[in-house]
Structure 1
Amino acid sequence: MASNLNIQNEFKAVSEKYDTQRKHLIPCFNDFYSIPLELSEEIEEVKNVLDVGAGTGLMSAFFYEKYPEASFTLVDLSNDMLAKAKERFEKQNENFTYLSADFSTTDFGEQQYDLVISGLAIHHLEHSLKQELFSKIYKALKPGGWFINADQVEGGTEEADYIYRDNWKKKVEQSPLTEDAKQSAYKRIQLDIMAPLNDQLHWLKDAGFEQANCYYQYFNFVVFAGRK
């Protein structure tokens, strides 16, 4: 994994403006967050949700709106980002639990959750840790539960990866973000350790997931999922 200290420092610096900036840093923002919600309808009943790399709780906010009776556990390495999540959900404290921890090494238990979600977090892990995490998530899910990951991936070829990154940078340059915000984003992506989509789908299958599939892709922004 990229240095935990580096990751914490970079996200501490941006935590105040993170959600506002994300709409400009994710060109496909609406699809990227709405499609995981639609996928979750495949689950018979959503009572317990784990958000891996929850950050400010943005993804959990969308799911909470859909499942207001569910219990949410948010885990993230950054205390500053989780502090923003706590502010976001301060009126719903009974629904939310927070865990400040390195999700790459945290044990999530067995058959605890109907749904595990993650948004733009797992690509920070070394590939071996991604595989270990997928196995831990599989173990943590109840039978019939789903893991839904909205993340960025590496291109399957060098040319494809160049096109992915070039397209993203062009979109960022065209955005209304300040120059400082743009440079901060370019600095953060240096911490990314993206993996090709097909590799990750294979890792899900190796972990035991059924229906491991990509359900949405816009250049390197993808939504892929698996069912236990």
Structure 2
Amino acid sequence: MPTIESIKSKFNAVSEKYDKQRKELIPCFDDFYKIPVELSNQMKSVDNILDIGAGTGLMSAFFLEKYNEADFTLVDISEEMLKKAKERFSGFSNFEFLVQDLEDLALEKNKFDLVISGLAIHHLDDEAKKKLFKTIHKLLNDGGLFINADQVLGENNFSEALYTSTWREKVVANKTLTSEEKEATFERIKLDKMSPLKEQLKWLEDVGFKNVANVYQYYNFVVYNAKK
């Protein structure tokens, strides 16, 4: 079973190329990153944003276009990934960067209006996801919103096989990625611990979230939200 250290090591290694590869590895890239920002329109105002598993800050970059006066806190286990995020936002004073394990976030409760995440939570096992959802609920202000853009496990063998084969075929056929990059990608997905969408939505309801809903899906790429 992949360990926290193995996950950290893999993403430290890929940090330099991470952003460049996103559009090549996510067939639905534009929807996947823009729809979360649209979902935040539910909020009357957003002053504090937490990005968990922030990596190089790609998701936060999309939200910054809309909330350039908000305070951003970016958390990730990979120091090298956060180093790239610091470079991305070097001209901004409203950013804080924290190296922390998502399974044991040490942050102030009831501080954030918005908690966002992109392609991070699927690296946690089921129990860790449940724990994280409970923590996110505590970190949000009343009326706060959690938005997650992530990958999920198919509900049955047929859907999982379809999701996996379709994505793999697209990666193999991609002429921009090198053979080495494709191989590294296929190695990296071995770290994934995806869970079915329905189960994740139920776990969110179980910890007290309301208006839990999946709003977008492209094979195993989904965007869902939940309000406190």
TM-score scaled by structure 2? 0.98
1:108–1:137 Cα contact (<8 Å) kept: no
Q: Give the aligned partner of residue 169 of structure 1.
A: 168
Q: Is there any run of 5+ residues in structure 2 with no aligned partner, and where?
A: none
Q: Give the aligned partner of residue 60 of structure 1.
A: 60
AA aligned to 2:197 is: L
Q: Give the aligned partner of residue 202 of structure 2.
A: 202
Query: For the residues of structure 2 that align with 1:156 and 1:44, how far apart are their CA atoms?
Result: 35
- Which string of whole-angstrom CA distances, capped at 9 and with x for unpartnered residues, describes residues 140-191 of structure 1? 1011110000000000001100100101101111212000000000001000
Deviating more after overlay: 29-38 vs 102-111: 102-111
1:107–1:136 Cα contact (<8 Å) kept: no
Q: Give the aligned partner of residue 146 of structure 1.
A: 145
RMSD (Å), alpha carbons: 0.9
TM-score scaled by structure 1? 0.98
1:221 and 2:221 are equivalent in the alignment: yes
1:37–1:63 Cα contact (<8 Å) kept: yes
Query: For the residues of structure 1 that align with 2:102 and 2:120, how far apart are their CA atoms?
Result: 10
1:102 and 2:101 are equivalent in the alignment: yes
- Which string of whole-angstrom CA distances, capped at 9 and with x for unpartnered residues, describes residues 43-102 of structure 1? 11011000000000000000011100000000000000000000000000x110010010
Equivalences for residues 106-117 of structure 1 within 5 A: 106-117=105-116
Q: Give the aligned partner of residue 81 of structure 1.
A: 81
Query: For the residues of structure 2 that align with 1:2 and 1:117, how far apart are their CA atoms?
Result: 24
Deviating more after overlay: 26-35 vs 102-111: 102-111
Equivalences for residues 101-140 of structure 1 within 5 A: 101-140=100-139
AA aligned to 1:128 is: E
- Which string of whole-angstrom CA distances, capped at 9 and with x for unpartnered residues, describes residues 21-61 of structure 1? 01110000000001000000101101100000000000000
Q: Give the aligned partner of residue 34 of structure 1.
A: 34
Equivalences for residues 14-29 of structure 1 within 5 A: 14-29=14-29
Query: For the residues of structure 2 that align with 1:134 and 1:20, how far apart are their CA atoms?
Result: 30
Task: Tell me by how many angstroms 1:108 deviates.
Answer: 2.8
Deviating more after overlay: 102-111 vs 50-59: 102-111
1:2–1:124 Cα contact (<8 Å) kept: no
Query: For the residues of structure 1 that align with 2:226 and 2:65, how far apart are their CA atoms?
Result: 23
Q: Give the aligned partner of residue 180 of structure 2.
A: 180
Q: How many residues align?
A: 227
Task: Tell me by how many angstroms 1:2 deviates.
Answer: 3.1
Q: Is there any run of 5+ residues in structure 1 with no aligned partner, and where?
A: none
1:211–1:227 Cα contact (<8 Å) kept: yes
Percent of pairs with identical residues: 53
Deviating more after overlay: 156-165 vs 6-15: 6-15
Task: Tell me by how many angstroms 1:109 deviates.
Answer: 2.7
